[in-house]
Amino acid sequence: MLSVQDRAIIKATVPLLESGGEALITHFYRMMLSEYPQVRPLFNQAHQASGDQPRALANGVLMYARHIDQLDQLGDLVAKIINKHVALQILPEHYPIVGGCLLRAISEVLGSEIATQEVIDAWAAAYNQLADILIGAEAAIYDEKAQAPGGWRGAREFRLVQKVEESAEITSFYFEPLDQGPILAAEPGQYIGLQLFIGGEEIRRNYSLSALSNQGQYRISVKRETGGVASNYLHDQCPVGTSVMLFPPAGEFTLAASDKPLVLISGGVGITPTLPMLEAALATERPVHFIHCARNGQVHAFRNWVDELAQRYPQLKRFYCYAEDDGVSPAADKLGMLTREQLAEWLPEQRDLDAYFLGPKGFMAAIKRHLQALGIPEQQSRYEFFGPAAALE
């Protein structure tokens, strides 16, 4: 428990974090990643270069400081952090490294006049409190996954048994365990962690599962990203038969049981976690409206599969929106950007529905605004970021 004095000091630093938190966290990452190479595999360097990761952590630190008296007000932020950590296999020994670098960054960026010993001590106590919460929660999840049917702890060796080109940019990868044992059942919407060794360097990445795991396989569907180290490695240097280390499925963005109409809205490769959600929902006979937006038909993955489902399941209605007509692919239901008016036409008449949406940040921000304006209850409008979390403004 933090003392009253510690809480007061933490809250007093909130204005400093609001104005300079991103600079502080950028300095923290630069220091930690240069001095502690053992933690580099845990961080996507592309997210470091873009500033997305520093912004996300700065926001997390700020939210923690703001709610230091009422941590329950952090909502699902802690759950998201825990699941990301579990998917990447963050361990207790990583926390002292992070904590030590964070305190050094506070001292070096704020200076001794502001970052007095009392401030450093208060933030040390606050960090240790948070670390204890996260370590305890993560340990419980690691134990649960290890003890569940088909579960395991840490990395497990899988073999790539099939590669399928789904579009001009997206390829699916099917993995089966090398030991031929059962695998942990994943909930629709979860992701899996990959441990890759590229050019002698270890990197870890999370990829959404794009199919239910009830066939003894895990499938991920990966978009080739320009300059993407992991995505290009998977596309170009992983033939069938390649062994890859996988961490157990994780993630709290999952399909909740409900009898309300379900709306799945995706943009680009954001379609991947909606696919197992669609499979699971159709098995319950609940009405589903599946809305996908793509740049054009050539990069639209899984269209034929969804079309076949729509023919088999009368409760499924599917709609496609392309930004452009490539002149070759089958036509979309709409060309241009997905407007609020068009979305209103494609939604069920009943606005008491469950909506899940994923895609690029700008796309998700627009969808969130549209759903709010169309009367969808905020607590029934759910989304997840593929990379570091950000504000959808």
Q: Which residues are catalytic?
A: 95, 138
Q: Which backbone phi and psi does 329 adopt, to 5 degrees?
A: -75, 160
Hey, what long-range contacts does 131-135 have (CB within 8 A, 24 or more apart)? Answer: 131/95, 131/99, 133/71, 133/78, 134/78, 134/81, 134/82, 134/85, 134/95, 135/92, 135/95
Q: Which backbone phi and psi does 253 adopt, to 5 degrees?
A: -85, 85
The answer to whether 286 and 262 have CB atoms below 8 angstroms apart is yes
Which residues 6+ apart lie within 8 Å of 305 measured at CB? Answer: 275
Query: How many residues are there in the chain?
Result: 393
CB atoms within 10 A of CB 323: 15
As a whole number of angstroms, the distance between CA 105 and CA 111 comes to 9
As a whole number of angstroms, the distance between CA 369 and CA 149 comes to 41
Residue 248: in which H helix or E strand, if any? strand 243-250
